[in-house]
Amino acid sequence: MDVAEAVLTRRSIRAFKDTPVPLDVLRRVLDTARWAPSGCNFQPWEATIVTGEPLKDLRAKMMATPPQDPREYSWDDPEVIPECKARLHGVGKAMYSAMGIGRADTEARTKFMASNISSFGAPAVLLCYFDRRMGPPQWSDVGMWLQTIMLLLRGEGLDSCPQEALSLYAKLIKDFIGVSDETHIFFCGIAIGYREEEAPVNNFAREREPIDGNVRFLGF
């Protein structure tokens, strides 16, 4: 598929088949993604991709452990901005409605949110972290690298879901994969696999702001 098709068909998948992801495909994707943009050519990104028994073990440890306090970092501060809060509520309403989960069904909502720990059944998970000395520009570089990976996965017929929620278990994850908490910050996971095509949670309509809502064109 071309780049535009990859962008338009990429979405956060929250129901995966248990079909294994071939190692050669992952290596090909990661080998290409290393050419993502990087300010000063710092290439700050680091990752471990986990599958099989190690992934089962990691999930079991997270399920048996409460989220860490304090958090590794805060990802939801923009909720105080009215338009951001409205967008969050909009996608949440669409997602839960697609699954037939009502607003008052706290038990079902809590159970679904807990499925973040299992990365929604994905057979492989990329765990992304980097040196604590990296600043905001390098966080941006890491984001571009991750987006490149997700688009390349689409080109291979695979799907993904970026998961900042896994940072709630950052210290546990770093200890599990042998990365120093003192020197590295854990950023996110990316669930990787093949989507369950018929799952409602993978098919609800999403909304994005029209370009004139947040982009200006001058001098044309």
Q: Please give the model's pTM, rounded to 2 decimal places.
A: 0.96
Q: What is the mean pLDDT of residues 58-80?
A: 96
Say if CB 149 and CB 29 are below 8 A apart.
yes
Q: Helix, strand or coil for residue 106?
A: helix
Integer Cα distance of 111 and 127 in angstroms: 23
Question: What is the structure's pLDDT at 141?
Answer: 98
- Which of 63, 30, 12 minimizes the C-alpha distance to 168? 63
92-104 pLDDT, tens digit each: 999 999 999 998 9
Domain 3-74+117-205 has CATH 2.40.40.20: no
**What are the boundaries of each domain within the chain?**
3-74+117-205
Residue 193 backbone phi and psi in degrees, to 5 = 170, -160
Q: Helix, strand or coil for residue 87?
A: helix
Instruction: Label residue 184 by pLDDT band (50, 70, 90).
Output: very high
Instruction: Label residue 115 by pLDDT band (50, 70, 90).
Output: very high
Edge-to-edge strands, sheet with 124-131: 46-51, 124-131, 184-193, 159-163
Alpha carbons within 13 A on the beta-carbon side of 95: 17
Instruction: Label residue 1 by pLDDT band (50, 70, 90).
Output: confident
Question: What is the structure's pLDDT at 148?
Answer: 98
Say if CB 174 and CB 58 are below 8 A apart.
no
Q: What is the mean pLDDT of the chain?
A: 96
125-161 pLDDT, tens digit each: 999 999 999 999 999 999 999 999 999 999 999 999 9
